[in-house]
Amino acid sequence: MALALTNVWRLLRAGVTLARHGALLPPEQLTQLPAPVRALLKLCQIGKKEEGDQANRISQALSALGPSYIKLGQFLSTRPDVIGAKRAFELKVLQDRLPPFSMAEAKATIASELGKSVEELFIEFGEPVAAASVAQVHKAKTRESEWVAVKILRPNVEKRFAADIDSFAFAARQMERLSAEGRRLRPVAAVDVLAHSMKLELDLRMEASALSEMTKNSKDDPGFRIPTVNWALTSRRVLTTEWIDGTPLADVEGLKRRGLDLPKLADNIIQSFLRHAIRDGFFHADMHQGNLMVDEAGNLVAIDFGIMGRLSVKDRLFLAEILYGFITRNYLRIAEVHFDAGYVPDTQDVQSFAQALRAIGEPIMDLPADQISMARLLTQLFEVTEQFDMQTQPQLLLLQKTMVVVEGVARTLNPNLNMWTTAEPVVKGWIERELGPIGKLEGAANAAASLGRAALQLPEMLGSAQKATRMLADMASGGGLKLDAATTTAMAKAQVKARRWQSLALYTGAAALVVIAVKLVV
């Protein structure tokens, strides 16, 4: 009870803060509230200052509430199904910026985490160059004369996030308990995704690991690279990476002065993101202009890997086939993919769902190439699924949010960007590889490996079966369990049959491995 009251108090305090900034509800919804509620909101707004348009007021309110609410606002910008399309649009401009914490606190964290003082570790250590809700970044020079970026977590940020996440989870549980629509939207699962994301973001070793993993995944990708990690100067609350000298993507005029091919760069942004999402199932989920730059060699460089997304093979096939289905206008196939993935219940009609998809696709596909938005298409796709009882898929929401951002960044460089032409080589190539001969061969190899693992477990399985048989026999002899002659005979036959099947599985697995090995050699 005490915890529930604490969460209610925190949520009420947040509501009052939003009300004071005039950001709790859009004006058109305020008029629909009961008179006592409107009066209470006006009371909360006494002394408030005018802070510009609605989007700016929301940004100011969430910044006043602290780091957790900034992250929540960014996350909710991907959920127009929950907060409405207009409010979701307003939240998309929310900037994750806060005043920096002091140099004394930054140096104390480094000394505590790395075991040596800043003066012992660095020749130079500058003032913060960027400060966000979770951490801030300093430019420094190591004793080996290498320029590095040192990212340091804010003091006590973990404790603040833990408390606020508890409140978000409490609110989500109440939504699902009180509303059928709330259960369909799965707010508890959405908060779980946010909590997991924040848990990873608050351990900078995980960010270092993400950098390392993506470096391996993208080592052969043309025109794309990632800063290297200095593991010796990295810990849970400190991350040190290579310093990148480059032109931020927000500096379009600077990119032009360098003579860079902006349409080609825009294509590179889209294709790099799709490779990571569809090919690797591991993507940078915060690819806004502030986290992208072009280095001196003309490569696209991504930084700040605190928020990452993962997709299972099923989700990647789902995404690729959906995108390719819209490219080829094969709406029935898109509908079938939803059913095959289990996202739309079998109680729904696949033909009706295909008809709804056509209603989404045709108006977009008939637009001029420069007006076709893949992000808009996915947004409408997730909105229409409500009619067909499709549950929210939290892992796809992060992907959709990132695609909205990536597409927006690319269009600042090339307003005439043709999304389908740019995306098709990556999407089509991956589908052909996964569903073609190579993908089938690799799938067979994986299946054979699973058989091999099962075969290795057969002795243990047989031993367990024998133990179970002895146990049943002991129980029967002791009077604890009565088995007649017919039952024991049937059990014996079943055990012999099971052994035959286990032997067959072992031989089949071995044969499959031999066949695959021969094919790979040939």
Q: How many CB atoms lie within 10 A of CB 246?
A: 20
CA-CA distance, 450 to 512, in Å (whole number)? 11
How buried is 444 (Cβ within 10 angstroms: 0-12 exposed, 13-18 middle, 19+ buried)? middle
DSSP letter string over 280-331? ISEEES---GGGEEEETTS-EEE---SSEEE--HHHHHHHHHHHHHHHHT-H
Tokens representing residue 51 in the block: 């802070």
For residues 384 and 322, is the Cβ–Cβ distance under 8 A?
A: no
Q: What angle do CA 486, 489, 492 make, to 5 degrees?
A: 150
DSSP letter string over 443-511? HHHHHHHHHHHHHHTHHHHHHHHHHHHHHHHHHHHTTSS---HHHHHHHHHHHHHHHHHHHHHHHHHHH
Backbone angle region of 47, left / alpha / beta, with phi > 0 → left and psi within -120 to 50 → alpha: left
Nearest to 197 by CA among 343, 358, 308: 308
What is the DSSP code (8-state) at residue 229? B
Strand partners for 308: 284
Catalytic residue among 286, 346, 366, 370: 286
For residues 191 and 168, is the Cβ–Cβ distance under 8 A?
A: yes
For residues 13 and 64, is the Cβ–Cβ distance under 8 A?
A: no
For residues 44 and 21, is the Cβ–Cβ distance under 8 A?
A: no
Tokens representing residue 296 in the block: 């001196």
Tokens representing residue 358 in the block: 């056509």
Instruction: Give the chain's end-to-end CA distance (angstroms, integer).
Output: 68
Tokens representing residue 361 in the block: 């696709």
Tell me whether residue 261 is one of the annotated catalytic residues.
Answer: no
Calculate the alpha carbon distances from 466 to 226, 493, 495 in Å: 55, 14, 9
Calculate the alpha carbon distances from 448 to 135, 443, 456, 510 in Å: 46, 9, 12, 8
Tokens representing residue 173 in the block: 């549980």
Q: How far is CA 222 from the centre of its chain?
A: 24
For residues 118 and 103, is the Cβ–Cβ distance under 8 A?
A: no
Residues 6+ apart with CB under 8 A from 233: 114, 121, 142, 148, 150, 240
Max intra-chain CA distance, the chain: 92
Q: Would you please indicate which residues are annotated as catalytic (active-site) residues?
A: 286
